[in-house]
Amino acid sequence: MKRAAEEKSAGLIQELEKMRAQFSELQVSNERLSQQVDTLQQQVSGEETLKAAFEDYKRQQDQMVEQRCAEMDARLDAMSVDFDEDLYPHMLTSIAGRRWVIGHGLRLATMKCAESMEMR
């Protein structure tokens, strides 16, 4: 009986040592996993910061594009008004002038052609 108790005690001591070793391994594994969690949290935090900065930059660029488009629209409207008010009346004069030049040129060419035929 004493011997059985000693054997049982020795078996329990071995089991206790195995459990202590396993506990130690689990603690090391837990520390490693905790470090990985911290690293991943830092990465996520960095990515969120980067994403927020990108969204802010994108919003600023969108505002700049909208502002430039509004300025260009205003300029085009002003040019349209200027064209209608200032240039349109002169276009008729320009067309009439070109018509006169073309007509005069044709008359001169016809006269020269007729003169050259008479000279023959």
Q: Tell me the three-class secondary structure of the chain, residue by residue.
A: CHHHHHHHHHHHHHHHHHHHHHHHHHHHHHHHHHHHHHHHHHHHHHHHHHHHHHHHHHHHHHHHHHHHHHHHHHHHHHHHHHHHHHHHHHHHHHHHHHHHHHHHHHHHHHHHHHHHHHHC
Structure tokens at 27: 């603690």
* pTM (2 d.p.): 0.44
For residue range 58-99, list pLDDT tens digits in order. Answer: 999 999 999 999 999 999 888 877 776 777 677 777 777 788
For residue range 22-33, list pLDDT tens digits in order. Answer: 999 999 999 999
- Chain center to CA of 7: 75
Q: How many CA atoms lie within 13 A of 72 on its CB side?
A: 6
Q: Which among 3-7, 8-12, 53-57 has the top mean pLDDT?
A: 53-57
Cα separation values, 10 from 17, 19, 116, Å = 11, 14, 140
